[in-house]
Structures are given as C-alpha cells and as structure tokens.
Amino acid sequence: MDRYPSETRIMLALKKNGKLSLKDLSAEIGISKMAILNHLQKLENNGLVERFLVKSDVGRPYYVFRATETSREGIGNSKGEMLEELLEFLHRNGNKDLVAKFLNERYGSVRLEYEKRLSHFPKDDKVRELARIREEEDYYPELKETGKGNYELLEYNCPIFQVAKKFGLACSLESQLFSSVLQMDVDTTHRQVNGSDVCRFLIRQRLD
C-alpha cells in the first residue's frame, strides 16, 4: 500500500480496519500524527471521513475516525457518473434488455483483455497477475493465499460503484469474469454496493 498517496492509504486503512485513532493511523501509515491530522481534515471536508469522541475510564477522551457511507462510491473516482445516468435513462425508458446487453458485451471485451494478459502466466501465477490488473484499474486489491491453491481477494475501492448499485448484473458478471479467466470457482461474500467496506472474493481450485 506504500505506493499510494497518503490520503488514499488513510482511506484504505479505515475501510480495512473500521474505526482507528490518530495514533493507530500514524502507526499504520508511517507518518506523523500531525501529517495524518492534516490529511484527515481534508477528507472530512470532502465528506469521506467522520470522527467520534471516545471516553475512556482512564486518561483523556480521544477521537476515532471511520470512512463514511459516501466513501463507498469510490476513492477519487467520478468518471462513472455520466455512464450511470445514460444507463439509468435507457432503463427508465424501457430499454432494460439493452442495458443488460451492454453490460454483457462490456464484460465480454474485458474478459478477452484479461485472458490475453493472463495467457503468458502459469496457473499458480494467474491470480497474482489478476490482482495486478485490478490494481492498475484502481480497485485497490489485497490478495491473500488461504492454502491448497486457494485465495481471498479483497478490493477496497469500486470504480463501477455508481453503475453496480443500480444494476446488480454488473456485480454478478464480475464474479463470472474472474471464474472464466482463472478457470477457478469464485464466490462473492461481501459487496460495497450492499453496505460493506470491501468486495470480497473467495477463489478456489475446481474439483475435477
């Protein structure tokens, strides 16, 4: 996560851990509490972070910070707004099938692109390369090995949030995309459009 800007790293830390104090954030990000506070104030002004006062039995009260509901709409991403409006317009005017056709064709194109990128990698490295692709596309992924060739993929940002929250097909197509290009079973347990701070995919070897 060190490669991301400080404010992005703060948002990712809050999405990953929930509520964190100034001291916790400083330790997590690796910069001074004063620098963290300056970034937090900007994030608060933009409606992405909120603070709460915590009273302790011992010592002085202190603040904890957490990501707001607004932050689920994407970290620094607004390019999906016009696409959302266009799809909503089509849907509202009786073109629901056309919206579904567009989404299916889009994910078909993405699948071909992903397959091309992954074709040069051995099976064990395909999931890691998929995570690298998702990082390039600003999903801010975190990949964890869970043993026996299985993985957990966490994505802390959703660039297609505005579309996915109104057209659930986009989410199901994403899971199908992963399963197709990896030739593995993929289950989705958490979705940002459903109120979670993360999209969580369980990627498992297929049983022959």
Q: Which of 92, 104, 72 is nearest to 195 (CA)?
A: 72
Q: Measure Cα distances from 187 to 16, 110, 144, 173 in Å.
A: 20, 19, 15, 12
Share in percent of the chain as helix, strand, coil (round to 5): 50, 20, 30
pLDDT tens-digit profile of 26-48? 998 999 989 999 999 889 888 88
Delimiting residues of CATH 3.30.1380 domain(s) in the chain: 81-204
Delimiting residues of CATH 1.10.10.10 domain(s) in the chain: 6-73
Strand order in the sheet with 141-147: 141-147, 150-155, 199-204, 185-190
102/106 Cα distance (integer angstroms): 6
Q: Residue 150: pLDDT above 70?
A: yes
110/145 Cα distance (integer angstroms): 25
pLDDT category, 160, cuts 50, 70, 90? Answer: confident
In CATH, which of 2.40.160, 3.30.1380, 2.40.10, 2.40.50 is domain 81-204?
A: 3.30.1380
95/91 Cα distance (integer angstroms): 5
Mean pLDDT for all residues in the chain? 87
Q: Residue 71: pLDDT above 90?
A: no
Domain 6-73 has CATH 1.10.10.10: yes
Q: Which residue has the higher pLDDT, 193 or 114?
A: 114
